């Protein structure tokens, strides 16, 4: 039952990606990629991953997972499945995997979607190809030459972030395809003297990635993003929507808002000089000011709300918001909490939210998951979105999965 629930959750969360990727036309602002026709293979992986990152279908598990392996602070979003060669392998656009090859551990965790998601995609493709242990090593060797990624996109609202997710999927498929055809890839691509962990950490512990391999699975520790924005904005959005509802707040009654975040959240979303007035979708996704103003103005936040970029009402609310570092949010199991304080006509309302909605302990119920799916899929599938959702929820009774994926085509 748990496995079925996890698969259903993953399918509902990620299926809009498939719908967009197979659409005859994909709007540039929605996808971050110019996809004029349905595509497959490596390019299909690139488009699917790019679209999924663009519209906010990411999933995450606590960042402490990666800290144990690299010795570095965890990133904002990581996904991991641990598998053994010969067992079924789940596939995700930003997935790190641990694969046990002929008695030696190969630990890979997501530092960045493109940096190590490539390894996850290569492992998934290798499993689907039925490659031998030797050929999987070769695929990982190719992936090691494709590890990259950058946050430079934050400076001008570029589409690189979503591309990096799509490129990871594409590069992984390419790596596995080359290995399948006899390409000799580097050995020890992860833990070697010049491998991935050396490039990303001064104190790596690859043995921890393989601890419990084949026995411990993190599927039920997966969280989802209920809002299409940086995860660091979500706890504050939760608090603002709740306080707005509970106290009947309106923009006119709000004098000032202070939002406290972890230091990482400040870096990515809270710099007033560059984040207060978002001008592009990517700017908005990484702006605590824009997302908070939306939450306060309308009591909700979804993908279509990026149409309000530049809206005078949102700009006015953003000018009332201050974002500061809050020491109470440091040193926790994850850095995604927030503190919100609202000055509303002389009354001060405050709330601390240590865990944003979507975490495993605050997982959305089935109606909420379905609603997010439909919000993303309806613009592409029209009336077919409901049929696609119903088919996903009945996956355990379907003989062939292609009968379900065919419904993703408009």
> Contact 222/360 with Cβ under 8 angstroms?
yes
C-alpha triplet 276, 282, 285: angle, nearest 5°? 65
Average pLDDT, the chain: 75
Average the pLDDT over 374-386 and give the result.
85
For 280, what's the count of Cα atoms within 13 Å in the CB-facing half-sphere?
A: 15
Residue 167's pLDDT band (cuts 50, 70, 90): confident
pLDDT by residue (tens digit) across 277-316? 999 999 999 999 999 999 999 999 988 999 999 999 999 9
Contact predicate 167/59, CB 8 Å = no
Output the six-digit token pair for 278.
């978002």
pLDDT score, position 343: 96
- Structural domains of the chain ordered from first start: 58-224 (no CATH), 231-356 (3.30.1330.120)
Give the C-alpha separation, 264 to 271, whole Å. Answer: 11
**What's the CA gap between 82 and 97, in Å, rounded?**
5
This prediction's pTM: 0.74
Q: Which of 148, 150, 153, 99 is nearest to 125 (CA)?
A: 99
Distance separating alpha carbons of residues 268 and 142, to the nearest angstrom: 31
């Amino acid at each position: 039952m748990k496995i079925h629930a996890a698969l259903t959750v993953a399918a509902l969360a990620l299926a809009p990606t498939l719908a967009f990727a197979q659409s005859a036309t994909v709007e540039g602002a929605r996808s971050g990629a110019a996809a004029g026709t349905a595509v497959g293979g490596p390019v299909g992986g690139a488009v699917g991953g790019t679209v999924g990152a663009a519209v906010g279908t990411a999933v995450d598990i606590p960042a402490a997972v990666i800290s144990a392996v690299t010795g570095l602070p965890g990133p904002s979003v990581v996904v991991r499945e641990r598998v053994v060669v010969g067992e079924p392998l789940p596939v995700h656009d930003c997935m790190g995997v641990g694969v046990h090859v002929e008695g030696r551990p190969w630990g890979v965790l997501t530092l960045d979607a493109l940096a190590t998601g490539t390894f996850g995609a290569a492992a998934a493709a290798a499993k689907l190809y039925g490659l031998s242990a030797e050929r999987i090593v070769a695929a990982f060797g190719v992936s090691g030459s494709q590890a990259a990624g950058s946050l430079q996109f934050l400076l001008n609202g570029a589409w690189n972030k979503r591309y990096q997710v799509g490129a990871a999927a594409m590069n992984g498929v390419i790596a596995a395809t080359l290995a399948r055809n006899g390409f000799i890839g580097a050995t020890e691509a992860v833990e070697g003297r010049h491998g991935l962990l050396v490039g990303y950490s001064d104190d790596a512990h690859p043995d921890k990635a393989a601890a419990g391999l084949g026995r411990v699975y993190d599927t039920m520790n997966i969280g989802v993003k209920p809002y299409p924005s940086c995860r660091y904005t979500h706890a504050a959005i939760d608090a603002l929507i709740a306080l707005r509802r509970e106290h009947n707040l309106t923009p006119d009654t709000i004098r000032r808002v202070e939002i406290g975040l972890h230091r990482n959240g400040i870096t990515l979303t809270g710099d007033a000089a560059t984040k207060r007035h978002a001008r592009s979708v990517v700017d908005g996704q990484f702006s605590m000011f824009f997302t908070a103003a939306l939450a306060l103005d309308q009591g909700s936040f979804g993908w279509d709300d990026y149409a309000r970029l530049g809206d005078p009402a949102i700009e006015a609310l953003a000018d009332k918001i201050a974002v500061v570092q809050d020491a109470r949010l440091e040193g926790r199991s994850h850095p995604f909490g927030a503190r919100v304080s609202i000055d509303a006509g002389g009354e001060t309302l405050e709330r601390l939210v240590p865990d944003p909605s979507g975490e495993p302990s605050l997982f959305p119920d089935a109606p909420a998951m379905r609603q997010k799916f439909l919000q993303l899929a309806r613009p592409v599938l029209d009336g077919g979105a409901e049929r696609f959702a119903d088919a996903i929820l009945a996956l355990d009774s379907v003989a062939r999965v292609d009968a379900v994926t065919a419904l993703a085509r408009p």
